[in-house]
Amino acid sequence: MSAAHVRGGSPAGARRIALAWTGASGMAYGVRLLECLLQAGCRVELLVSQAARIVAKQELDLALPGSAAELAEYLHARFAGHAGEVVVYGREEWFAPVASGSNAPSAMVICPCTMGTLAAVAQGLADNLIERAADVMLKERRPLILVPRETPFSLIHLRNMTALAQAGATILPANPGFYHRPGSVEAVVDFVVARVLDQLGVEHALMRRWGEDAGE
């Protein structure tokens, strides 16, 4: 499948962020993160696994199209009017910029991240574009953030996460806090997405920060 674009108003030189959706539970985090990145004017290079499409349908009733072009059109309709731009790549599209350190994005997030994907990245496998893009981020020493939802963690999971942390990745489990007293599922989702955006250095106003009064 060839790349397909959702055109937006992102300026030339907009920050490039690779975002991968895999088949872990928690697709709401990934969709909301994409929305926030587009609102911030980022150019998002989106990679979607087949399992992610199944989870999106199960959890959100989102029927994500199978081809890059059709998915781009779907996202264009869903996020019309946002400042950023999203480019969709197929899982076997080896000529995508994210597949090479010579044209790597500024950062990559795998959200949600399956333990299978996490293990593959930890072991240096690159059997699809998601794994290869993550491998590029590590070798180029650029930010790589993985958002696993699995619980509890087995010893194998923990060892893989330790290996990735030692290699420079950030492990950011989808563990929401409740000190902001969320009143909806959306507010719980925003807590985790806000932590990812903080790691990326992307400005947001998803929630009040610790120590901020409601009147500020």
CATH of the domain at 59: 3.40.50.1950
Q: What is the pLDDT of residues 72-117, one digit of tens each?
A: 899 988 999 898 999 999 989 999 999 999 999 999 999 999 999 9
**Which string of DSSP letters, residue by residue, matches 125-146?**
--SSHHHHHHHHHHHTT--EEE
Longest CA span, the chain: 51
Q: How far apart are CA 31 and CA 88, in angstroms?
A: 14
pLDDT for 1: 42
The reported pTM is: 0.93
Mean of pLDDT values over 7-23: 78
Q: Is the peptide bond before 152 cis (omega within 30 degrees of 0)?
A: yes
Residue 210 lies in a domain: no
Give residue 124's domain range.
4-200
Residue 32 lies in a domain: yes
Name the more confident of 173 and 66.
173
Identify the weakest region by mean pLDDT among 1-5, 43-47, 93-97, 129-133: 1-5
Residue 216 lies in a domain: no
Name the more confident of 5 and 56.
56
Confidence grade of residue 25 (pLDDT, cut at 50, 70, 90): very high
If one counts the domains in the chain, the total is 1
Residue 215 lies in a domain: no
Residue 50 lies in a domain: yes
Residue 168 lies in a domain: yes
Q: How far apart are CA 22 and CA 27, in angstroms?
A: 8
Decide if pLDDT at 48 tops 80.
Answer: yes
Residue 206 lies in a domain: no
pLDDT for 120: 98
Residue 137 lies in a domain: yes
pLDDT for 3: 65
Residue type, 185: V
